[in-house]
Chains A and B, each alone.
Chain A
Amino acid sequence: MTTSVLIARKVTKRFGGLVAVDQLDLEIADKAIHAVIGPNGSGKTTLFNCITGFYRPEGGEILFHEHHLERLSSDRITRLGVARTYQNIRLFANLSALENILVGEHPHLKAGMFSAVFRLPATVREEEEALVEARRLLGYVGLGGKGDLLAKNLAYGDMRRLEIGRALASRPAILLLDEPTAGMNPQETREMTAFIRRLRDDLGITILLIEHQMRVVMGISEKVTVLDYGQKIAEGTPSEIQNNPAVIEAYLGRGSASAVLREAASSAR
């Protein structure tokens, strides 16, 4: 039995009359790769925003170790070890790639105004170490040599990787990836999938992942949670999810589950 790093209990987020996340329970096991899937508008990104402090849920609680994330602001949550990327890439466009990562290291740097102005020895050392770390991370996400380019001038795939690098710079215990392979071709998708697995295997980071490409979800995740209209309609291993009638109906429309299952059964035979 593994321990859970992140536990959500009865989390509810409303926008006016719309219930975007409805009484959701979720448990993320330590060092798991956990995927959240669901049709468009099913509340996946809203869930991410609730976990990372962008939204304040109306009800329920989100526990990260013993901390109540639903009461904290996003900067505090990041400092606890929760990092994320964004569905529509949100880099600091006019900063260089390296500076983006340096900003990501922010929680671990201490220099204040005074020490920055007078370049006290501790600050100089800290900045050097930060720079070395940023270069290392840049190489780690495969952007070595591109550090001095402005983030807005990077290729699309590089932007996605830089966003992950920036998130890693805060040394998270859990990383929330919002559609990391969106807009990528099959080759890039394979590379990204392998990369995500390495993050968990090498660095021991728990991964919570929103993904639309079923091949990615089924390939790397150990557990899948399916949302529809803000509610959890299914949870289990990828193969359990694949054959779950409720999931198929959510994706393909009511009544289609039986047909799909029949077809799958016949082809299996």
Chain B
Amino acid sequence: MDQAKPRHWIAVALQLGATGGLAALLISLVGMVEEFSKRYIIVDVLEMGQAMLLLILIATGYMTARRLADRPPREQLLASAVSGLVPAVMLFALVLLIEPLNLRSIMLNASPGLIEILTFGQTGIAAFVLMAAAGVAQALAGGVVPHLATRIRAPLVQAVAWVGLTGLLADILRVTFTNIPGASFVLGWMFGRGSGKGLSIPGAVVVFGLVAYATYRRQKRPAGAPGWRSRLDARKARLVNIGLWAAAAVILFLLPKLLGPYLSEVTNSVGLFVLMGLGLNIVVGFAGLLDLGYVAFYAIGAYVVGVLTTSAVGDQAGQIVWGPVMSFWLALMIAVLASVMAGIVLGVPVLNMRGDYLAIVTLGFGEIIRIMAGSDFLKPFIGGSQGIVQVGVGRIGGLVIFDKPQTLFYVVVAACAAAGFISWRLRDSRMGRTWKALREDEDVAQAMGIHLVSTKLLAFATGAAFAGLSGALFASKVGSIYPHSFKLLVSINVLCLIIVGGMGSLPGVFIGALALVALPEMLREFSEYRLLMYGALLIVMMLTRPEGLRPEATRRRELHETIGPELEPPPEGVATPGEAAASG
């Protein structure tokens, strides 16, 4: 705090405590606590609803201690305790008031179930004492965190996070590994029995121990020390590289068999968003052109494939009047080309627009496409609000048919790999530099000899191509397409995932898609609260890590990285102190 007169620690504790209390009240009253309490993280010990309250209280205590970082430790801990007491009091007040105020008639979620969770099943004074004790203990736990040495803190935080994550994803992990022979014994021991039961107690201990130990070991290695791979000579390093790629290929090949239909479906959804994320990353992340109508290209890709491959052609209701019933692969290529054309068509009128104006115009474009898709005027051709059904699927001869999630998986992975490869190569090329220069300062970029029109159109076209590909696969995946699949929310989702992952960062796209598409898909309780979680996540991200989870790294090219192995060292006379140090 940079106020003239430092605030008393009680004031700080009360303020942050009230904030935490409001958050706790909110998630209780919107029904998250009760809804999520059906799923355990650690069986019979901790369920998800409790875990959310726990997280809020720990965060409250932690924030309080951090805010008072310049005060004596005793004051910090006292403040943390008080900041934990405040939410407890607020929740207790809620519990008391539900009956007399008949809150349930307004807030459906203020149910007996919620009360039981909040009060630990007690009533009266006993409930209050328990709640207060729990609140204080949890906030104190958070308040202690800043005082721990980094050596202990990092393993602890990592281990807790991993226990939480494995507990949340217990069902998926169990289903995934259950097909591996001999794994069922370990699985039965590590996870609770039945679905939604989370980790077993020994399982939680094992995960905690392993992660804590690994983090601890990793930390002990001095920063910048070479890993085992860089100690290998060139030939061995290449072998290791080949081995890793081969292993990745084998795992990818076997993955759909392990995952089963449902999880393959989820993976495919993630893949489609990765594709779109990679495309939008070029437009927004590289070239800095804020495109809010990105879903339009996704829709165009889907509709082109839909019209060209559907077998529901004729004059009956629910059928479109024209369709060549083309091969899926040919339609896929035409869909990508059509999206590219659309990208250029959209690009030309907005060439002179920047920032907010561009965002608004592209947003309008996205809506125009969606409304056109649902219009009666175009209904004979693209199905109107009844959409297009019986979209074709890809097949290779009569042998391989990509009609099930497990088989479509390979197509999606191939598409993502291609898009990722193209993005990566473009990023490190003259093209990528040009885009980034455009993002940084359009006028100066032009004064560097960069042709603005072609540069922008290339960005729009490449981004649109990826989205079109994604849309084409989407049409084949779901088998029928409707205008309401192409709402603005899709654009926003894609934008969110590249913001969360880190603007302009390729690994960030994958991480963002996992966080924003896979997690909500797999935690079915989330679905109702998806937007709420999005909002909270984005606010937290912007406050604590505005650069994203996996920000784009600056390429080190002056002294280290070269693009080809045959690059000669720079000629004499330009040797720098840094080079001398590096070679010596």
Residues of A within 8 A of B (CB): 52-54, 73-75, 77-79, 84, 86, 90, 92-99, 102-104, 106-107, 109, 111-113, 116-119, 123-124, 127-128, 130-132, 135-136, 138-140, 144-148, 150, 166, 170
Contact = CB atoms under 8 A, between A and B. Distances in A.
B430 interface: yes
Contact of B576 (A99, A118, A145, A170): A145
Interface stretch (B54-62, B164-172, B290-298, B432-440): B432-440
Contact of B440 (A86, A92, A116, A145): A92
Contacts of B101: none
A103 B448 contact: yes
A148 B557 contact: yes
A113 B458 contact: yes
Contacts of A109: 430
B558 interface: yes
Contact of A98 (B429, B431, B452, B557): B557
Interface in B555-583: 555-560, 562-564, 566-568, 570-571, 573-579
A128 B433 CA distance: 15
B574 A144 contact: yes
Contacts of B425: 116-119
A124 B452 contact: no
A107 B446 CA distance: 11
B447 A78 contact: yes
Given A103-B433, A138-B558, A139-B574, 17 more contacts: A54-B443, A54-B447, A90-B443, A96-B558, A106-B433, A113-B426, A119-B425, A127-B564, A128-B562, A128-B566, A130-B430, A131-B557, A131-B567, A136-B571, A144-B576, A147-B559, A148-B557
SS of A interface (majority): helix
Contact of A148 (B421, B556, B567): B556
Contact of B449 (A78, A123, A148): A78
A102 B435 CA distance: 13
Contacts of B229: none
Contacts of B578: 144-145
Interface string B445-475: 1111111100000100010000000000000
28 contacts: A53-B447, A54-B443, A73-B446, A74-B446, A92-B436, A92-B437, A92-B444, A92-B445, A95-B433, A95-B440, A96-B558, A111-B429, A111-B430, A113-B431, A116-B430, A116-B432, A118-B425, A119-B425, A127-B430, A128-B564, A132-B567, A136-B574, A138-B558, A138-B574, A144-B577, A144-B578, A145-B559, A148-B554
Interface string B407-425: 0000000000000011001
B425 to A, nearest CB: 5
B441 interface: yes
A202 B576 CA distance: 21
B284 to A, nearest CB: 14
A123 B557 CA distance: 17
A75 B449 contact: yes
A145 B577 contact: yes
A128 B570 contact: no
Contact of B433 (A73, A102, A135, A148): A102
Contacts of A106: 430, 433-434, 437, 448-450
Interface in B334-380: none
A53 B445 CA distance: 13
Contacts of A79: 449
Interface in B513-563: 554-560, 562-563
A130 B563 CA distance: 11
A139 B576 contact: yes
A178 B570 CA distance: 31
B285 to A, nearest CB: 11
B81 to A, nearest CB: 42
A124 B446 contact: no
Nearest to A109: B430
B574 A78 contact: no
Nearest to B581: A145
B563 A124 contact: yes
Q: Which of B444, B451, B578 has the most CB atoms of chain A within a 10 A radius of its CB?
A: B444
Contacts of A145: 558-559, 576-579
A131 B433 CA distance: 13
Contacts of B559: 145, 147-148
B191 to A, nearest CB: 44
Contacts of B554: 96, 148, 150
A73 B570 CA distance: 35
Q: Which of A92, A97, A102 has the most CB atoms of chain B within a 10 A radius of its CB?
A: A92
Nearest to A110: B430
A127 B563 contact: yes
A141 to B, nearest CB: 11
Contacts of B571: 132, 136
A110 to B, nearest CB: 8
Contact of A104 (B422, B448, B556): B448
Nearest to A126: B430
Given A74-B446, A116-B431, A117-B426, A132 B570 contact: yes
Given A75-B446, A86-B444, A127 B429 contact: yes
A99 to B, nearest CB: 6
